[in-house]
Amino acid sequence: MSSQLPWLTTIILLPLLASLAIPVLPDKEGRTIRWYALGVGLLDLALIVFCFWTHYNLDNSGFQLSETYAWIPQLELNWSVAVDGLSMPLIALTGFVNTLAILASWNVTKKPRLFYALMLVLYSAQLGVFAAQDLLLFFLMWELELVPVYLLISIWGGQKRLYAATKFILYTALGSVFILAAALAMAFYGGNVTFDMTELSHKNYPIFLELLLYAGFIIAYGVKLPIFPLHTWLPDAHSEASAPVSMILAGVLLKMGGYGLIRMNIEMLPNAHLYFAPVLAILGVVNIVYGALSAFAQTNLKRRLAYSSISHMGFVLIGIASLTELGLNGAVLQMISHGLIAAMLFFLTGITYERTHTLMMEKLGGIAESMPKVFALFTAGAMASLALPGMSGFAGELSIFLGITTSNVYSSNFKVVVVGLAAVGLILTPIYLLNLLRQVFYGKNSFGLVIEDYQGDAKPREVAIAVCLLIPIVGIGVYPKLATRTYDVKTVEVASQVREIFPIFAQQQQGSVLYSGGYVAPKIPDPTQQALFSSLDVNT
């Protein structure tokens, strides 16, 4: 009987419906409200864990827990939700990061009712994006997420919060227009009008239309990921947002862009993906190198971490462009890993700002003596971010490098250029992160900075939040199958389906300097028997 319950609908709508009760709850100084919001977050996270633990089959690459209800039949809009290996781990990540972000908001005293209500609405919208199987519903959830983020930055942000919030909403809202335009074009093409993603993926679009749709989705998801040059909203948003909002921005919102690229650009438009894959690889390299160089030039702690996120998302693009199971698997692992690492680093940055009231690294220095716990946790997060072996960042980036280097879709020269330039990012990342640690925590402070005595080092609640993020970072780094087991059958299926249609495309690209000659399509392997580090079923 429990398997017939609308698990996903309950999980998605619970935070949204719970937020409606916040205005009428009796409360003084926001204490009851924050416990109420945390309770809702924990309950929803518990439902996510229980649902996936008891009702989700890891060996099934198809959609599970499907629920479809007619919503607005005149618009062909249905409440259609389901999960598979691509969306399931990202929903779990969303629940985990959002719950910790609510706990990190414990010191919010300005308009606490509105703050926690917006946090819960944002929680629901993110879950809806990853679970939606109706493209119009996906668009509505995507738009719903924009409003809370805008208000959370513009009301509780820093001195330039209105500028940062306005820039965020303009970039992301304009990008969303391309999702709506592409959704309408796909829905009305052919004989039947539908927004169902599965049916849309089975339509045969003319190649020119498919390329236009793909380009539209790249712009929309490129803003969110973000991809250079659509990235400029991110450093401003991070530098002005409060720490809990930055945790969600880096931990979940950026992953929505990567999810959209895999779900729609690869799964629904595979022919166009073959044309755009080299472009994505080049854009990934640009992201890596540009983000790393820009990060090194920043003197603001949050802006340095923001550009670091841009650099790390470049690896996701390369993994998506690799057209291999290993590369695509690494891209998803990189999204999960970066979500955890970035949330931890931005949270610790928030603690540092609360004690010192500055984010300028030249005004910090020597604070490790006053804040040893923050120093130790920040160092661990930085080591994970620079891909230290034994941390989750290493596992994700290694899989992506192996995926692109073992891909016999591309020519050797193209792979050498991509891998060589991406390796530059690997060299620059430790430089700017170790430089950050040196400036902030080591040496002596020449500005006479005084850590506020009433706060001092990280409190037990703050340590607990950081440790909760650090445990899966180390766990995935030591044993990557903890994460890859949840989605590898799906990434194997997606990559194999794209490679299967490659020979026809390759015949049209003979003589191209980008693609390898003599590629033979592999048979689609049985996903139930395929693991992350299994040998690639390709023939040269």
386-405 per-position pLDDT tens digit: 999 999 989 999 999 999 99
pLDDT mean over 206-231: 93
Predicted confidence (pLDDT) at residue 252 exceeds the cutoff of 60: yes
Q: Quick one: pLDDT band at residue 456, thresholds 50, 70, 90? A: confident
Q: What value, to the nearest 5°, has the Cα angle with vertex 374 and ends 372 and 379?
A: 95
- Reduce the DSSP state of residue 35 to 3 states and report it: helix
The pLDDT assigned to 533 comes to 38
The pLDDT assigned to 412 comes to 85
Q: Quick one: pLDDT band at residue 164, thresholds 50, 70, 90? A: very high
CB 366 within 8 A of CB 442: yes
Domain ranges for the chain: 1-56+63-266, 269-509
pLDDT mean over 233-249: 93
Predicted confidence (pLDDT) at residue 275 exceeds the cutoff of 70: yes
- Reduce the DSSP state of residue 304 to 3 states and report it: helix
- Cβ-Cβ contacts under 8 Å for 289 (sequence gap 6 or more): 311, 314, 421, 422, 424, 425, 428
Q: Quick one: pLDDT band at residue 539, thresholds 50, 70, 90? A: very low
The pLDDT assigned to 505 comes to 72
Predicted confidence (pLDDT) at residue 1 exceeds the cutoff of 60: no
Q: At what angle do helices 392-405 and 301-321 cross, to 10 degrees?
A: 40
Rounded to the nearest integer, the mean pLDDT of the chain is 88
The pLDDT assigned to 233 comes to 93
The pLDDT assigned to 453 comes to 46
Predicted confidence (pLDDT) at residue 111 exceeds the cutoff of 70: yes
The pLDDT assigned to 503 comes to 73
The pLDDT assigned to 518 comes to 46
Angstrom CA distances, 352 to 245, 302, 371, 404, 429, stand at 16, 11, 9, 38, 22
Q: Quick one: pLDDT band at residue 528, thresholds 50, 70, 90? A: very low
Quickly tell me which residue has 């380009």 as its tokens: 215
Predicted confidence (pLDDT) at residue 443 exceeds the cutoff of 90: no
pLDDT mean over 101-118: 92
Quickly tell me which residue has 């802006």 as its tokens: 303
Q: How many residues does the chain have?
A: 540
CB 301 within 8 A of CB 352: yes
**Helix H segments across 105-196?**
112-131, 135-156, 161-188
The pLDDT assigned to 385 comes to 94
The pLDDT assigned to 446 comes to 56
Predicted confidence (pLDDT) at residue 534 exceeds the cutoff of 50: no
Q: Quick one: pLDDT band at residue 75, thresholds 50, 70, 90? A: confident
67: β partners = 81
CB 519 within 8 A of CB 540: yes
pLDDT mean over 93-103: 96
Predicted confidence (pLDDT) at residue 502 exceeds the cutoff of 80: no
Angstrom CA distances, 38 to 34, 117, 170, 342, stand at 6, 11, 31, 21
pLDDT, tens digit, for every residue of 352-382? 998 888 888 888 888 888 889 999 999 999 9
Q: What value, to the nearest 5°, has the Cα angle with vertex 135 and ends 134 and 141?
A: 90
Nearest residue to 257 (alpha-carbon basis) of 330, 314, 198: 314
The pLDDT assigned to 73 comes to 83
The pLDDT assigned to 483 comes to 92
How many CA atoms are closer than 13 Å to the CA of 354, on its beta-carbon side? 24
Which amino acid belongs to residue 240?
E
Predicted confidence (pLDDT) at residue 540 exceeds the cutoff of 70: no
Of 8-22, 159-173, 381-395, 513-527, which range is least confident?
Answer: 513-527
CB 246 within 8 A of CB 312: no
Cα 108 from chain centre? 25
Predicted confidence (pLDDT) at residue 207 exceeds the cutoff of 60: yes
pLDDT mean over 124-140: 95
pTM of the model: 0.92
The pLDDT assigned to 413 comes to 87
CB 99 within 8 A of CB 42: yes
The pLDDT assigned to 102 comes to 96
